[in-house]
């Protein structure tokens, strides 16, 4: 139970949602778009999140799409991770999404909610960073379709009143060989230490990482090192020298331990793809 009261709205259209946000914001209500709502419910309970107006976008038709057309897979932002997993239209996304939280919780957590989460893992974004996907964002200035690698800088760069509607991915990326690995300190149910997603496009290896830094990322510099013609150990050494900072140091693992795990993950991925 949340210890504060708020107004609750369920708009029927994207425009209505955007207009509601603007009006509520002008009235100082600190409005919040709500999809799965798990962060508001869990963080709000312990006074780490607060709003006076919730705008539930979960049932907006544009946010619930899941289909392939014109060589593009369209996934709505309010699809639950369970629905995405059961449909299995993007196997790398299925692999990564199926290890977020637990099965029942994934029936509430949504794609957009995970990508835009405050909690730093945001693993569902990794496959889209690798596949150069595009995101449809709606806001006070209307709709815009933009490459995710241009607008996801540590987190999705949304302006006030904007929200994520869909993610579009070209089908040529969906069938590419992939690897998704999640390492935890404790069994299969602990919080993540590092999650790594890799995609092989011809001779090119792409990797995106969550849990290493306080944000998920894909680094072109790191990939250039991994794709060079040097011996594997040198490639990995060079890649590790190009990581963003800071490296996380928390109860799940020290910075040095995370780097140790990452080194092994990169080695496993290169080996599995037969580049060694």
Partner 1 sequence: MKSHTILLNINGEKRSVIVRSGDTLLYVIREKLGLTGAKPGCLNGDCGACTVNVEGWPMKSCLMLAVEANGKKVITIEGLENTPIQQAFVENFAFQCGYCTPGFIMNCHSLIERHPDAENPLIKEWLESNICRCTGYAEIEKAVKSVLRKNQSRE
Query: Which one of residues 104, 159, 203, 229 is an interface residue with partner 1 (CB under 8 A)?
Result: 104
* Helices 255-272 and 232-240, packing angle to 10 deg: 140
Strands 155-156, 152-153: pairing kind: antiparallel
Judged by CB under 8 A, the number of residues near partner 1 is 29
Among 31, 37, 112, 180, interactor with partner 1 by CB under 8 A: 37
Shortest Cβ 182–partner 1 spacing (Å): 13
Per the CB < 8 A criterion, the answer to whether 111 and 133 are in contact is: no
Residue among 85 and 162 whose Cβ is closer to partner 1: 85
CA 113 to chain centre: 9
The 8-class DSSP code of residue 77 comes to: T
| Partner residues linked to 31 by β-bridges | 53
- Contact flags string 84-103 toward partner 1, x per CB under 8 A: --------------x--xxx
Q: Is 185 in the site for partner 1 (CB under 8 A)?
A: no
Residue 117 interacts with partner 1 (CB under 8 A): yes or no: no
Told to check if 144 binds partner 1 by CB under 8 A, we report: no
Measured CA to CA in angstroms, residue 161 lies from 49, 155, 261 at distances of 17, 16, 39
Query: Tokens representing 107?
Result: 């029936």
Q: How far is CA 100 from CA 67, 183, 203, 272, in A?
A: 22, 12, 29, 23
Out of 64, 65, 87, 108, point to the residue binding partner 1 (CB under 8 A): 108
Among the listed residues 18, 20, 31, 38, the single contact to partner 1 using CB under 8 A: 38
* Contact flag: residue 114 with partner 1 (CB under 8 A): no
Question: Closest Cα partner for 85 from 232, 75, 6, 178?
Answer: 75
Which residues lie across from 218 on neighbouring strands? 208
Among 78, 82, 94, 195, binds partner 1 (CB under 8 A): 82
Site string for partner 1, 51-80 (x = CB under 8 A): ---x-x-x----------------------
**247 phi, psi to nearest 5 deg:** -85, 135
Binding string, 154-173, against partner 1, x = CB under 8 A?
--------------------
Q: Specify whether the backbone of 142 is left (phi greater than 0), alpha (psi in -120 to 50) or beta.
A: left
DSSP state of 250: B
260 forms part of the interface with partner 1 (CB under 8 A): no
- Of 156, 122, 119, 123, the closest CA to residue 137 belongs to 156
Of 5-13, 118-126, 145-153, 203-211, the segment contacting partner 1 by CB under 8 A is 5-13
- CB closer to partner 1 out of 1 and 229: 1
Least distance in angstroms from the C-beta of 11 to partner 1: 13
Q: Which is nearer to partner 1, 5 or 229 (CB)?
A: 5
Binding site for partner 1 (CB under 8 A): 1-9, 37-38, 41-42, 44-45, 54, 56, 58, 82, 98, 101-105, 107-108, 188-189
């Amino acid at each position: 139970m949340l210890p504060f009261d708020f107004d609750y709205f369920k708009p029927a259209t994207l425009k209505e949602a955007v207009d509601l946000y603007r009006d509520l914001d002008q009235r100082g209500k600190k409005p919040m778009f709500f999809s799965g709502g798990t962060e508001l419910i869990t963080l709000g309970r312990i006074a780490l999140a607060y709003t006076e107006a919730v705008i539930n976008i979960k049932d907006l038709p544009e946010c619930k799409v899941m289909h392939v057309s014109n060589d593009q897979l369209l996934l709505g932002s309010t699809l639950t991770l369970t629905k995405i997993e059961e449909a299995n239209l993007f196997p790398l996304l299925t692999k990564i999404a199926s290890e977020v939280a637990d099965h029942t919780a994934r029936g509430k957590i949504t794609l957009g909610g995970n990508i835009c989460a405050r909690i730093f893992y945001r693993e569902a974004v990794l496959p889209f960073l690798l596949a150069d996907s595009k995101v449809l964002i709606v806001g006070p200035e209307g709709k815009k379709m933009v490459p995710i690698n241009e607008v996801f800088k540590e987190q999705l760069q949304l302006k006030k009143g904007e929200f994520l509607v869909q993610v579009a991915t070209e089908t040529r990326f969906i069938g590419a060989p992939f690897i998704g690995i999640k390492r935890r300190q404790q069994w299969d149910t602990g919080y993540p230490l590092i999650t790594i997603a890799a995609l092989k496009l011809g001779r090119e290896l792409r990797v995106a990482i969550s849990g290493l830094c306080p944000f998920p990322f894909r680094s072109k510099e790191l990939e250039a090192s991994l794709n060079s013609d040097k011996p594997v150990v040198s490639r990995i050494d060079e890649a590790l020298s190009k990581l963003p900072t800071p490296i996380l140091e928390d109860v799940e693992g020290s910075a040095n331990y995370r780097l140790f795990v990452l080194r092994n993950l990169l080695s496993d991925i290169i080996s599995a793809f037969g580049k060694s």
